[in-house]
Structure 1
Amino acid sequence: MKVEIWSDVMCPFCYIGKRRFEDALQQFAHNDKVEVEWKSFQLNPNMQTDPSTNINQYLADAKGWTIDYARQMNAHVTQMAAEVGLEYNMDNAVVANSFKAHRFTHLAKKHGLGAQAEEQLFKAYFTNGKNIDDTDTLAELGQTIGLNTDEVKQALDSNQFADDVRHDIAEAQYLGIQGVPFFVMNEKYAVSGAQAVPVFVQTLDKAFEEWNAQQNKPGMTIIEGDTCDVNGKC
């Protein structure tokens, strides 16, 4: 059964949602039959990368908040992250456009390393204060998961995988996805947000039950007769 997850590396709830979903998957009896695919989504496609700007100041300016309120919001998500074993250092987060990072994940996905790339990107952004719009930084992250650094740099220095990112974003718009994280199970059931683990478990159970029933349906019974095939043979 396929689970598709739309997320943005800059979204604090996406990393938290990732951990909660992973916890649910561990509890799910049929997790060996689940295929997870990460999809791209940009919360702020027009964001300009600016390592000199503090994230609290950026949020205050972008959302019309006070600096104190921005700090309170970041302290809140930091506490939420700690509850699932994640360390957020929001004061060190680098204001960066995420499009290049999404291209990086598609390169990783090509090598079967999409989930590993997502984990490293989240950790780089929220924990280690790395610039996820920097090619050298992404090449280093790629090396940690087994990618060739030269391949990463060549891909990111070109426009490679840009269409893949745009396709994911367009698909999200078609599905009506307006926020992330967004989990789609068996192309039928969706979970929006960093929900509690039991919500994910219940949805996995329901989606899998229907998916499994579909797989176990008997094949078509064919009564053979005179035909013409695609090669023109009759």
Structure 2
Amino acid sequence: MKFGGAERVQQLQEHMKAVGRDNGIAFSYDGVISNTFESHRLIQWAQQTNHQSTVVEEIYALYFEQDKDISDIDNLVVAAERAGLDSTETRAFLKSDSLVEDVKQLLLASKAHGVNGVPDFIVGDKYQVSGAQEPETFVAVFEQVLKKMQQ
């Protein structure tokens, strides 16, 4: 319902599959929808060693292309390992409660900014771009931010 019903979702998925193919991404949309909290924790932890972007890419690949459950610790360990992190350390981290409160606070702050899904970008702490957008949309937002900064 968030996207306007089943027919609209089908249209959006077909569009995303076409855009993905053009960019080397094989979107599937047959994966398990699950809680992403542990994924967020892993991403925060990976930031400490500058592996955040690679971990995000691997989690996206697991979910969007390989239909894997990204709430499953074993799948997250695989993503981390592919991103260059140690699997034993990753598993120990995910079994701990490390960064739980930090991630809860980050999620609350995101909700306060009106974020309710991904992707979502906040540019210049003021302008929000939600959903997959064309590059022209980002260029327009960047130009707006630059214009405001020059005033």
TM-score of the pair, normalised by structure 2: 0.80
Q: 2:28 matched to which residue of 1?
A: 89
User: Are positions 1:151 and 2:118 aligned together?
Assistant: no
Alpha-carbon distance between aligned partners in 1 of 2:62 and 2:10, rounded to the nearest angstrom: 22
Match of 2:42 among 88, 104, 108: 104
Alpha-carbon distance between aligned partners in 1 of 2:68 and 2:116, rounded to the nearest angstrom: 27
Q: Name whichever structure is richer in helix by fraction.
A: 2
The CA deviation at 1:174 is 1.9
Q: How many equivalent residue pairs?
A: 148
In the alignment, structure 2 segments of 5+ residues that lack a partner are none
Alpha-carbon distance between aligned partners in 2 of 1:124 and 1:193, rounded to the nearest angstrom: 19
Alpha-carbon distance between aligned partners in 2 of 1:98 and 1:128, rounded to the nearest angstrom: 16
RMSD: 2.9
Alpha-carbon distance between aligned partners in 2 of 1:158 and 1:120, rounded to the nearest angstrom: 21
Alpha-carbon distance between aligned partners in 2 of 1:71 and 1:196, rounded to the nearest angstrom: 18
The answer (yes or no) to whether the contact 1:186–1:208 under 8 Å persists in 2 is no
For 1:30-69, list aligned pairs within 5 A: none
For 1:83-128, what per-residue CA distance to the aligned partner results, in whole angstroms no more than 9, with x for missing partners? 443211223x133321111111111112111111111100111111
The CA deviation at 1:131 is 2.3
Which deviates further from its counterpart, 113-122 or 78-87? 78-87
Q: 1:7 matched to which residue of 2?
A: none
User: Are positions 1:121 and 2:59 aligned together?
Assistant: yes
Alpha-carbon distance between aligned partners in 1 of 2:94 and 2:53, rounded to the nearest angstrom: 19
Q: What's the secondary structure of 1:184's corresponding residue?
A: strand
In the alignment, structure 1 segments of 5+ residues that lack a partner are 1-58, 60-64, 215-234
1:177 to 1:96, Cα distance in 2 relative to 1, 3 A: closer
1:158 to 1:82, Cα distance in 2 relative to 1, 3 A: same
Larger radius of gyration: 1
Between 1 and 2, higher relative CO (CA 8 Å, sep ≥ 6) is seen in 1
1:72 to 1:198, Cα distance in 2 relative to 1, 3 A: closer
